[in-house]
Structures are given as C-alpha cells and as structure tokens.
Amino acid sequence: MSYLIKPKDYKQLLDMKQTELGIKQIKDFFQVNLSSELRLRRVTAPLFVLKGMGINDDLSGKERPVSFPIKDLGDAQAEVVHSLAKWKRLTLAEYEIAPGYGIYTDMNAIRADEELGNLHSLYVDQWDWERSITREQRTIEFLKQIVTRIYAAMRRTEFMVCEAYPQIKSFLAHDIHFIHAEELRQRYPDLTPKERENKITRECGSVFIIGIGCELGDGKVHDLRAPDYDDYTTIDPATGLPGLNGDLLVWDYVLDRAVEISSMGIRVDSEALLYQLKLSGKEERKELYFHKKLLAGELPLSIGGGIGQSRLCMLFLKKGHIGEIQASIWPAEMRKECEQLGMHLI
C-alpha cells in the first residue's frame, strides 16, 4: 500500500532543469570522493543474475525478485538484482583485490514489493561498494572508521551543493553519532524501532545504528537482515555487543523524519555464515554456489554496503519526494496529490 508524507509549506528550491543538473553534479562529485576515501575502483555490475546460485540479495527474505526465462539457456530463470551484496564479494576474489582496497559500482535494481511513497520506489539506484579487509579489522572500531570516511565524503558533497546553489543551506551535523541498537532500545524501551530511529536522529542529526539484525535484549531485532552477507551475530570484544553492521540515518528537515542513506557492514566469515544460516533456518543455502565458495575459503574477508543515489540527491537538493529525482511508476492519486503539494514527479 502506498503512503504519502505531506511536508508542510513545501516549496521547491530548484526548478526541474536545475534539479537535473544538481543530480549529475552530486553523483559525479560524491562517487569520486567515495572512491578516494575508501580506495575503490569502479567495476561494471549486472542488472540480473541466475536464479538458484545464492548471489542475489534476499533483503529481509520476504521480497519477491522480478524474474524472467532466458530462451538461449533452456528457459533458465534470471532474477533482477535487489542489490549486489554478495556479487561484489565474488568480484573482489575475481579481481584479486588486496586488503585495504575495493570496488564500487552503479547498482540499478527493481524491487516490485516496495511500499511506494516519498522514500521508496520500484526503482532502486545505489553506489554498491565492497572492500577487502584483514581478520584483525573485523571490529566495530574499524566499522566506525569506514562510516566516518563515508560521512566525510557526504559533508564535502553538501558543501559543493551549497556553493553551487546558495538558496540551499547546510544542514548535516558536523559529526556522526554512533549507537548500538541494544543501547538505543534501552534508552527508549517503550518506542518501536522506527520511533527510536526518529528520536535519536532528530536529537543528533546524523546517526549510525550498529547491530541491525541481531537479537536484542527483548528477544526482538531492530530490523531484519539476510543471514548470508552482513555479520550481525559476532560479539565485538571491545563492546561485548553482537553485530558488525549498521544503518546510516540522517534527519530530513523537509519530511521531518529520519532517512536511511546507507546500510553496510563487515561481512560474514565462514563461522558467522553457518551460525546465521542455522539461526534463520536457511541451512539449505550451504549448497548454493556463493555459499560453497565462502565456506571453502575462496572469498576474501570484506566490508561493504550500499548508498542510495536518489535518496542522497533528494536530501541535498531539499526535495520532498524521491520521484522528483528519478523516473518511476507511481499511483495516479499520488501523482495528483504531489502536484497539488508542489512536488513535480518526473
């Protein structure tokens, strides 16, 4: 079911021509800075992968991938990617990327089961990135270092936008606030996970919530994660808390709520993979192509994630709807309401 947030007194700061130029400027500038910060080389990515190899991202496990038969492969089924979380790790191995270096790519996906609204579209565009690491770097402290570098690239991009368009004012917090999902639950025990996100992000401006997918003190999870890419169960010795992954949230002053810009984390090693498959009741995946290679030690240890391109542009250009940034399909009633609110969907 679609859901439209109606920002109060919404006014476009850029017309459609300026918006299109701004989108290109942001994408060009940010990806160069991201590549420099994390030492990433660009690679070409697939739009679809073969079904049954364990390569596609299963997200929370409920979303249905768009699929189609391939005539020249005996009608074998291909799936449009949800993201490239696992494909990137295979690519690190193929390119023999050494620890300290990595890859990034423009990821385009179709998520047919998204609930359409200001922040969610059928079409997903991300910078998907992955970096080889050492075993010693599989810590929350290292995760924080990488998040801080990504945030630095975001702040530089914001400065560029404000210089190019003086009517857009700076809003990003100077620093990013880190908090574990369990600490957040203990701070706001009577709130839902989404309400906690809004509470802490409104207070701090920019927040990274650690431990997405791990079981919290109340027996629940902050949010669901597929069991075969992010490591959300390994205990960090420095903190005693589970989970080596998280979500980067920024307060959106137009929509008056927290917006997730990136989901990322240190990836599972063979031990964490087996444990998380068992916990989730997905042990049959051990026989899939990706999982076999990981369990055989043929894939590097890595950290990686996705950064929403349209969401980042939406945030920096002070837009109220993701449809002002990208071309997609929307319910007719939503298009009509958006037009009345001054949000011109492409």
Q: Which residues are catalytic?
A: 57, 111, 126, 247, 260, 263
As a 3-state breakdown, the chain gives helix, strand, coil percent values, each rounded to 5, of 35, 20, 40
- Give the tokens for residue 342: 């001054």
Both tokens of 115, joined, read: 């609930």
Q: Which two tokens stand for residue 72?
A: 């020249």
Round the CA-based radius of gyration of the chain to a whole number and report it. Answer: 20
Give the distance, in angstroms, between the CA of residue 30 and the centroid of all CA atoms in the same chain: 15
**What tokens appear for 293 in the block?**
């290679």
* Tokens describing residue 158: 């914001």
CA distance 346 to 334: 13
Return all residues near 57 (Cβ < 8 A) that are at least 6 apart.
81, 82, 83, 84, 85, 86, 226, 229
Give the separation between CA 181 and CA 243, rounded to whole angstroms: 9
Report which of 333, 330, 335 is spatially closest to residue 122, judged by C-alpha positions.
330
User: What is the residue whose two structure tokens read 């990821």?
Assistant: 107
Write the single-letter amino acid at 177: H
- CA-CA distance, 227 to 61, in Å (whole number)? 9
| The two structure tokens encoding residue 181 | 């999902």
Under a CB-based contact definition with an 8 Å cutoff, are residues 129 and 147 in contact?
no
CB 338 within 8 A of CB 321: yes
Instruction: Enumerate the H helices of the chain as residue ranges.
Output: 16-38, 87-95, 140-164, 181-187, 193-204, 270-280, 289-295, 309-316, 332-341
